[in-house]
């Protein structure tokens, strides 16, 4: 049997996940679960007094996130000064993705990410990801000091295939995660929208499916637990921002059948997550700029690992 690079990285990822899975099993044992819960609650209580104040928009996003687990908003409404620069860099990366295709990846790839030379950091993305008002909302939601884990660009090919994150799952990088998905084209039916199941119904689904050691759930299995009428599809126009706690809601990128979907995803967790992404490295020149243009609180949201090669 010929093992492709993709298969190898899939197997390596599975092996790497074993300790996490064991850890999760361990913490399902009631006394250990109780201790872990106690420590977590204490950390939340301790940090509560340091949570930043929110403006009205921030308050309303936070409320929707707490109730629903997901909120969709046009990017202009956020009124961040760095949006135009970030979006123009993002669109130029998306242009590159348009031409890079499955030819480069010989196996059947439904989701195409940036090529390795585009895996460097971009100042425009960093400045947007560290917008103080955005950090304020996320920190209030997560309830602890936060970490910006990085971004990923994606082209979702319109092949209707059910693979990877196109099937129902819950993310497990941390207890609370915020993913911000920005659509780079209009996302209509058949165009691979973000799908989710609201927070309370997800709780019901977890029980019905006995979904404790994670993994992917097929549409048929999900339909048996939760009627399709409760599956929410984030159909929205180009430039819409989907903010979602992917650790609290069942979600997936619906397989596109008619149109490709282009999107960029920014990820945030607490500063002590289960998983730290292999995020893009920040070069000394970029750091010099970031250092001058951000405050200490913004810098604290970056992991030192991303600078490690340079310091
Ligand atoms: O991009 C999407 O629609 C969701 C993908 C996903 O599962 C994730 O980013 O955690
Ligand atoms: Fe996910």
Residues 305 and 208 in one domain: yes
Compute how many other C-beta atoms are within 10 angstroms of the C-beta atom of residue 258: 11
Same domain, 40 and 136: no
Query: Can you give the pLDDT at residue 307?
Result: 81
What was the pLDDT predicted at 306? 84
Q: Residue 286: its pLDDT value, please?
A: 92
CA of 46 to the centre of ligand 1 (A): 31
- Name the residue at shortest CA distance from atom 4 of ligand 1: 253
Half-sphere exposure of 44 (CA within 13 A, CB side): 12
Q: What is the model's pLDDT at position 23?
A: 76
Q: Is 3 part of any domain?
A: no
Tell me, using a 6 A CB cutoff, whether residue 246 lines ligand 1: yes
Residue 4 lies in a domain: no
Residues of the chain with pLDDT below 70 are: 1-17, 101-108, 114-119, 213, 308-311
Question: DSSP per residue over the chain, as a string?
Answer: -PPPHHHHHHHHHHHHHHHHHHHHHHTTSHHHHHHHHHHHHHHHHHHHTTPPP--HHHHHHHHHHHHHSEEEEEHHHH--TTHHHHHHHHHHHHHHHHHS-TTTS-S--SEEE--GGG-S--HHHHHHHT-HHHHHHHHHHH-S-EEEEEEEEEEE-SS----GGGSBB---SSSS-EEEEEESS-B-TTS--EEE--HHHHHHHHHHHT--S---B-HHHHHHHS-GGG-EEE-B-TTEEEEE-TTTS-EEEPPPSSS-EEEEEEEEEESS-S----PPPPPHHHHHHHHHHS-HHHHTTS-GGGTGGG-
Measured in Å, residue 281 CA sits from the centre of ligand 1 at 22
Residues 165 and 22 grouped into a single domain = no
Looking at the fold, whether 290 and 244 belong to one and the same domain comes out as yes
Strands 240-244 and 70-74: what pairing?
A: antiparallel
Q: What is the CATH number for 153?
A: 2.60.120.620
Mutate to test the pocket of ligand 1, among 265, 268, 273 (most ligand atoms within 8 A of CB): 265
- 39 and 152 in one domain? no
* pLDDT tens string 123-152: 999 999 999 999 999 999 999 999 999 999
Instruction: Report if residue 5 sits inside a domain.
Output: no
Nearest-atom number in ligand 1 for the CA of 179 is 9
Looking at the fold, whether 132 and 162 belong to one and the same domain comes out as yes
Q: Which of 219, 104, 113, 215 is nearest to 160 (CA)?
A: 219
Same domain for 30 and 65?
A: no
The length of the chain is 311
CA nearest neighbour of 217 among 167, 251, 282: 167
Expressed as residue numbers, the domain containing 37 is 17-49
CB of 251 closer than 6 A to ligand 1?
yes
Number of domains comprising the chain: 2
CB 258 within 8 A of CB 164: no
**45 and 61 in a common domain:** no
- Is 254 part of a structural domain of the chain? yes
| pLDDT score at 11 | 64
Residue 259 lies in a domain: yes
155 belongs to a structural domain: yes
In a domain, 9, yes or no: no
Any ligand 1 atom below 6 A from CB of 155: no
Do 45 and 65 fall within a single domain?
Answer: no
Domain stops at, among 9, 29, 49: 49
Encoded tokens for 103: 């030819």
Cα distance from N-terminal residue to C-terminal residue, the chain? 44
Examine residue 8 and state whether it is found in any structural domain, yes or no.
no
252 lies in the same domain as 159: yes
Q: Clarify whether residues 40 and 80 are in a common domain.
A: no
CA distance 75 to 199: 24
- 165: Cβ below 6 Å to ligand 1? yes
Same domain? For 273 and 153 the reply is yes
Rg, the chain, Cα only: 19
Instruction: Please list all protein residues whose beta carbon sits less than 5 angstroms from ligand 2, which is an ion.
Output: 171, 246
């Amino acid at each position: 049997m010929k093992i492709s690079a993709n298969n190898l990285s899939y197997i390596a990822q599975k092996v790497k996940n074993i300790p996490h899975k064991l850890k999760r099993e361990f913490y399902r044992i009631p006394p250990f679960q109780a201790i872990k819960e106690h420590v977590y609650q204490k950390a939340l209580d301790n940090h509560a007094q340091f949570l930043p104040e929110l403006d009205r928009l921030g308050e309303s996003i936070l409320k929707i996130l707490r109730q629903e687990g997901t909120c969709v908003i046009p990017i202009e409404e956020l009124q961040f000064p760095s949006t135009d620069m970030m979006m123009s860099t993002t669109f130029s990366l998306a242009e590159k993705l348009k031409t890079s295709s499955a030819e480069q990846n010989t196996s059947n790839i439904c989701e195409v990410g940036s090529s390795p030379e585009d895996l460097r950091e971009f100042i425009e993305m960093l400045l947007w990801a560290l917008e103080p008002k955005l950090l304020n909302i996320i920190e209030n939601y997560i309830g602890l000091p936060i970490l910006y884990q990085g971004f990923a660009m994606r082209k979702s090919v319109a092949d209707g295939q059910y693979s990877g994150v196109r099937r129902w799952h819950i993310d497990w990088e941390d207890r609370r995660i915020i993913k911000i998905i920005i659509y780079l084209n209009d996302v209509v039916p058949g165009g691979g929208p973000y799908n989710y199941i609201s927070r309370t119904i997800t709780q019901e689904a977890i029980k019905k499916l006995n979904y404790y050691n994670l993994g992917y759930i097929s549409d048929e299995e999900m339909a048996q637990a939760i009627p399709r009428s409760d599956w929410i599809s984030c159909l929205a126009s180009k430039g819409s921002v989907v903010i979602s706690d992917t650790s609290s809601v069942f979600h997936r990128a619906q397989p596109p059948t008619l149109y490709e979907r282009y999107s960029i995803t920014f990820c945030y967790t607490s500063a002590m997550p289960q998983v730290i992404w292999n995020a893009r490295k920040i070069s000394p020149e970029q750091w010099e700029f970031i250092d001058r243009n951000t405050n200490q609180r913004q810098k604290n949201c970056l992991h030192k690992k991303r600078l490690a090669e340079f310091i």
